[in-house]
Structure 1
């Protein structure tokens, strides 16, 4: 059993416009400092989820965004609903009888982080097609989904593909971030599903490694574009991004910043691109905003805490002292 969705505050935007996204957001236990988990002396507790990260990023950049998902009847579920809404996102949190998923993250060294998931049978994995109203989809400007949700359960996968078909039939732009997670499913299982997602999308985001799960090496944007999306954006961390948008190629280098925490950079990048797309910006402007938002995110610890406002984006490339 589950409770009806609860909406965020009116400041989170109005139904029927902007971005609609859905998926699992979890509680996040993060070890402070760097080193083996066994030697961590303190921990912080927050939230993390690719889709809600993007929604929060869009909202902070002035766009309207709605996030929908299932959460448990627990403190972590309540925190997710309140924190996403507090970021200005219209929040449709369905209270499920199961628990809110949890992830535990630590920085084993300064070079990489490790994340362990505790989400099998979680509230978020119980998402189903009935949870995503057609009216919400058809009234949105952009439907954004990721390759994470189809890996959670059969019902969650069905929710993604049914929502995409509803959006396509209504002429709503479909955005997909492939977001392959090796701890959720194998490359063999993921490849055909991710390929199917890309072929149904108008906008596709991928890393080179994610794209090469199902396209050959070489010109990755061109290979992805052959599947049908008009906008292909290949995000490559410190190497910036390469995009093929309506047949025009764009290459944007990364910004030089001090990396504090790389987690969440990809979601901030996507949020920057989609926020500018909603605002009617040109492809070049969207990519510049995306690169800058991603760069800003890595300078702040946490999954979603680093998503910048427009003023903060401008500050990143200007004077580093705010007086």
Structure 2
């Protein structure tokens, strides 16, 4: 026998449940059982009960008490796309903050952020008239080193991650500063899949910059638009890595936008200078190559990363001396890949 349960559209404070039974045509009419109002309701449920007859607000507020009007009028206080804390779409994210810890750390954090703000304002007020390269562009063969590891604090803006950090695998990764004033990106790649019923692939590790302005404002590498190539001095273990340029936007659908290109290492003790044209980077979202491709605009790049996901178990090691940009005036290519014209009335043309 198949049973259906439906809730009657009555007052939210009284629970009325209808049970219908399906069977032969000679069956009696369905009976409606009305459950009496329970007196011992927990306090957390009492606060969420809403009487629609007394105050006909949105039905959504019955189930989401936090959805309400703000002092600006009509604006919901529910999490929106541009301020939702779950930027990485974690399944079990729990945002908890201890008031005592916040009060204790606030002076230290405020001092650090105002120090960064002072530096940001000084850079903003710095005139560009004494920098002809900003107005006329860079000369041929001119280069800039954006990230090096000569300072002891140079690793502060770098973050590392792997599948084991998300409980989706067993890989390990670390980023160290060597005695040669270089960065060593090393670890162990394990493609064994966690048996959680959701994960289907595993085996990745990455390093990424997290360099922001004061108060966690996004920092764009807009001066890279005066260069044509990304330049990396490195030496590896013969494995193929991937260089990623991150260009996230304001909305959540653009948070995974990246432009990628492979970094093939030779192996051995010799350094290699890799110059990758910006026109060769292809559009990816969450590591997946997109059908509709477009060129990367350097002024939209906010961070850079290097990852490994070659599906081979074992140790890996990549030593990096510096990351920068190079200008080649003879490189006139805008985008290396063929772009197809989309037919009219295609949903992607809307």
Same fold (TM over 0.5): no
Give the TM-score band, short-chain normalised: under 0.3
Considering only CA atoms, is the larger Rg found in Structure 1 or Structure 2?
2
Alignment TM-score, normalising by the size of structure 2: 0.21
- The structure carrying a bigger strand percent of its residues is 2
Alignment TM-score, normalising by the size of structure 1: 0.22
